[in-house]
Structure 1
Amino acid sequence: MGIKTGRIAAAALAAVCVFSVVSCSDDSSSDGGGSSIAPGAAASGAPIKVGLFNPSKGPATQAGVTTGKNAAVEYINKQIGGINDRPIEVVDCGIDNTSPESTISCANQFVQAGVVATIDGYNVESAAAMPILTSAGIPLIGQIPFNTATGAVTENRVYFGPPPAAFLVGFLQSLGQAGKNSLTLVNSDLPQAHQVFDQLLAPVGKQLGIDVKSAYYPPASPNFTALASTIAEGNPAAGGLMTAPNDNTCNKLAQALKSVKYTGTVFLAACTEFVDVLGPQAVGSQTYSPVWLPPAVDAAPEPAKANLKIAEQFIENAGGTGGFYAYGTFATLVDVARALTAKPPAEFTGPAILATLQGLADYQSFLGPKLTCGKATSPNCTTEMLLFEVTADKKQAPVTGGFLTPSPEVLKLVPGAA
């Protein structure tokens, strides 16, 4: 399916990483200066320090992660009283999603910095950090494990969203139910993408009776017209992106597919911006998400509808890039804060934080479904996902009316997915 780094030494960074948001990868501000927000309950205790693996470097950046982080810290620390009256302090470490070495470097920096937990900003190379984090007793918390090895086991990690397999299985199920039996998806030419296709997408498609084909493009220089032509020439019932490096990639591929007169169902992974860019031309296109997103606000139930409006306000105020990665990052950090406030551990240590989050049962997440964490076979707290279809100009709605539950029997074929 489908993601966004640093300290040099503990002593050096202790002097500079003293604010509620610590950015070691850029100079972006957490209060981007949009609309004014009324003061809420401000946190006043000692900060709780967490690390963020932020895909802000290299050819596959996810700028929305920074926006979502900035917005979430503003909301958590100034509106809802932090984590049990303690502000959250984010040590922002920029990674290159094509380089496991940058992930390893950030993991070591987080250990030196003394963080008590880390946030997975849709890091394709997150598995490279796990030996370091586990040895230090620092859990990894995220929305979706974009690395299949990370998502295959449960040790020292918890994810509030579904596994990547759930999105693919859910999408393929929906295609099958609609009588569509062919699919071509393109993706960045990275080892993880080949692994997902070879070990997950192709065999699941075969199991569901759908002929699935793939094509790859160089991450730094995709030729969108050529990609669109590759998709269209086979005339598959559905085609598009398996994962989305960023919204701009989705926008350009969507426009290219329209230019080559492709008439099948356009699937654009976790993107939202194309809904505005294409306008009425986007109708019929589909995307996935673990959380509710602004184009689908009219279809969202409460409390997701009200929470989505809160998230939208803070994300707009933070400035920068919005979209799926901003809302997913915002939701992840807010759910960490709310869960740890509702049931604060005696000490905010890595193992205690992990135990609290893994102990969540029937917990209503901020923008997603109810979660039950701590499964013996999966680090994910749910398998439910949203498959959106563009229904009108700048509007989306779930194809099933709400969350879709992928087949448990199919998910059992994928380690860590069920």
Structure 2
Amino acid sequence: MGVSLAALLAVSAACGSGGSGGTPGTGTGGATSAATTPGNAADNTKSPVTIGFQNLEGGAISLPEIRNGFDAGVKYINEQLGGINGHPLKSINCKTDSTPESSVNCANQFVEQKAVLVAQGADFGADAALPVLKSAKLATIGAFPLTPGMDTAVGDAFFMQGSSEEGYAANLVQLKKLGGTKVAVVMVDAPASHQSYDKIIGPAAAKLGLTAKVFYVPAQSDWSVQAATVLAWGPDALSTYVAADGLAAIPAFRSAGFTGYITAGSNVEIVPQLDSSVLNKVLFSAPYYLPEFANIPAAVQPDIDAFTKYTAGLPAGGSVTQRQTGFYTVLMAAQALRDFSAKSDTLTAESVRTAMSTWKGDREPFRTNGWDCAKPTWPGTTACASGNVYATPGADKKLAPLPDQPVDISSVKP
């Protein structure tokens, strides 16, 4: 799952493709949109609706900015969106450290404290918690599945941005739209990379009529050497999954004479550090419109404004995109609970889990597309939606989304 891990560690989880626009404030099949139109504050005299939130913090990999964004979203929901139909939203925040034991510990806390839904920030040990949550009929909602168990836990987990499979496929679809015919795929040499190329990237390239070749590189590569090796094959486009080395890899390919398109994942934080000439035809992807993007669609701008307002007090220098992931995740969780509580006076873990399986709506926050948890956007996965947005820096280094976004990958689905 190299695309998701590399992207998350750089700035945030990123994947997805395809989708259509919707009208904020309306819904499909009884569900409303997850638009962020302000309303009234929650009534603190009413009983709270409790959810769990698990996230990597304090271990070797620590992503507190996701929690910071999540907490800001809870505040926004309770102050401006009326909570959960008047009831305050309460979260049980639990830190994990990538070990199965820490994730199981969180799951037990959520069950004991009677959470009705679990929201996942980032957790590489999450698969170990699935038996505990399943036994309690407690569903998980999140932005992106980082682990294979969560990616395929159909009926128990629901991820609102798509699957890693879609992310890999979208890269190729976008490069072909831009005229690519011979694509070099550059990946860190790891078992997950080999599996992803063999099962997803290679077959998708064949369906698109692209000539593709994978180049596996070691971590912390000598990029002058790697660039020469890759370019000796003669590609006209590059699809890279080396986010941690993006700051070195992209200039190396340009210095070696490559002038075609390069996909660089979600590592938008390297943009200010690179020369504009190097960034020409470099594509960055995101599961939703980012504050850094120029020309944000009118329907999305209020979402960006709310996020900016409610995270304004956070320390400077943190990952804005990780904060946006947390903010987005709790907005989707709250939207689900509002939709379900509108039909039932009492929310339980079991009733929420059952309702999640058919939940759908017209437009997610920060996006123009809707979701439908009854129809996984990639077969056999827990992806309720899709919608990868590609953008390229202009001379001013502002990221301008390409035309015809989000990318439609229907032609390469198995």
1:388 to 375, 387, 391: 391
Structure 2 CA distance, aligned partners of 1:127 and 1:400? 37
Q: Equivalents in 2 of 1:57, 1:406: separation in Å? A: 37
The whole-number CA distance in structure 1 between the counterparts of 2:64 and 2:90 is 21
What residue in structure 2 maps to residue 160 of structure 1? 160
Q: Secondary structure at the match of 1:294?
A: coil
Q: 1:179 to 1:341 in 2, by over 3 A?
A: same
Give the secondary structure class of the aligned counterpart of 2:360.
coil
* CA positional deviation for 1:122: 4.1
Distance in 2 (alpha carbons) for counterparts of 1:191 and 1:55:
23
Residue 72 (1) aligns with residue 73 (2): yes
Does the aligned pair in 2 maintain the 1:64–1:321 contact within 8 Å?
yes
Conservation of the 8 A alpha-carbon contact between 1:64 and 1:322? yes
The one-letter code matched in structure 2 to 1:352 is: S
* Residue 310 (str. 1) matches residue 312 (str. 2): no
Deviation at 1:304, TM superposition (A): 0.7
User: 2:136 matched to which residue of 1?
Assistant: 136
Counterpart in the other structure of 1:55: 56
| Aligned AA (1:341) | R
What's 1:322 paired with? 319
Specify the alignment match of 1:82 in structure 2: 83
Report the number of matched residues: 370
Q: 1:403 matched to which residue of 2?
A: 406
- Maintained 8 Å contact 1:172/1:210: no
Q: How many angstroms does 1:63 deviate by?
A: 4.6
Relative to structure 1, the CA distance from residue 109 to residue 343 in structure 2 (aligned partners, 3 Å threshold; closer, same or farther) is: closer
**Alpha-carbon distance, 1:253 to partner:** 4.3
In structure 2, give the amino acid aligned to 1:349.
Answer: T
Q: Distance in 2 between matches of 1:59 and 1:234?
A: 38
Q: Does 1:277 align with 2:238?
A: no
Partner of 1:88: helix, strand, or coil? strand
Separation in structure 2 between the aligned mates of residue 250 and residue 393 of structure 1, nearest angstrom:
20
C-alpha distance in 2 between matches for 1:113 and 1:225: 54
Q: Check whether the contact 1:291–1:328 (CA below 8 A) recurs between aligned residues.
A: no
Structure 2 match to 1:346: 345
5+ long unaligned stretches in structure 1: 5-37, 414-418
For residue 215 of structure 1, give the secondary structure of its aligned residue in structure 2. Answer: strand
| Alignment equivalent of 2:261, drawn from 265, 268, 290 | 265
Counterparts in 2 of 1:70 and 1:266: CA distance versus 1, 3 Å: farther
Amino acid at match of 1:402: Q
**Which gives a bigger RCO, structure 1 or 2 (Cα 8 Å, sep 6+)?**
2
After superposition, the Cα gap between the structure-2 partners of 1:383 and 1:42, relative to the gap in structure 1 and judged at 3 Å, is: closer
Conservation of the 8 A alpha-carbon contact between 1:186 and 1:217: no
CA distance in 2, matches of 1:225, 1:112: 54
| Stretch moving more, 324-333 or 392-401 | 392-401
Distance 1:232 1:393, change over 3 A: farther
Provide closer, same or farther for how the CA distance between residues 242 and 41 of structure 1 changes in structure 2, counting only shifts above 3 A.
Answer: same
Q: Verify the 8 A CA contact 1:184 1:212 in the aligned structure 2.
A: yes
| Contact kept? 1:144, 1:161, Cα under 8 Å | yes
Q: Find the aligned partners of 1:94 and 1:216 in 2 and give their Cα distance.
A: 30
Q: TM-score, normalised by structure 1?
A: 0.76
Shift in Å, 1:231: 4.9
Is the CA contact (8 Å cut-off) linking 1:51 and 1:92 kept in structure 2? Answer: yes
Partners of 1:66 and 1:233 lie apart in 2 by 44
Q: State the 1:293 CA deviation.
A: 0.8
Instruction: Show the counterpart of 1:296.
Output: 293
**Residue type of the alignment partner of 2:154:** T
Deviates more, 1:226-235 or 1:130-139: 226-235
Q: SS of the residue aligned with 2:238? A: strand
Residues 274, 137 of structure 1: alpha-carbon distance in 2 compared, 3 angstrom cutoff:
same
Q: In 2 relative to 1, CA 62–91 (structure 1 residues): closer, same or farther, beyond 3 Å? A: closer
Equivalent-residue separation in structure 2 for 1:277 and 1:367 (angstroms):
26
Deviation string 1:219-275 (CA, Å, 9 cap, x unpaired) is: xx676666666655655333364374xxx6544544555566653423221222123
Letter paired with 2:51: V
Superposition CA RMSD, Å: 3.3
Counterparts in 2 of 1:107-122, with a 5 A limit?
107-122=107-122
Cα distance in structure 1, aligned partners of 2:188 and 2:100: 16
Partner Cα separation in structure 1 for residue 412 and residue 172 of structure 2: 11
Residue identity in the other structure for 1:331? Y
Please, what TM-score do these two structures have when normalized by structure 2? Answer: 0.76
Deviation at 1:364, TM superposition (A): 1.7
Which residue does 2:29 correspond to in 1?
A: none
Distance 2:181 2:226 in 1: 20
Query: Alignment partner of 2:386: what SS?
Result: coil
Per the alignment, residue 239 of structure 1 pairs with: 238
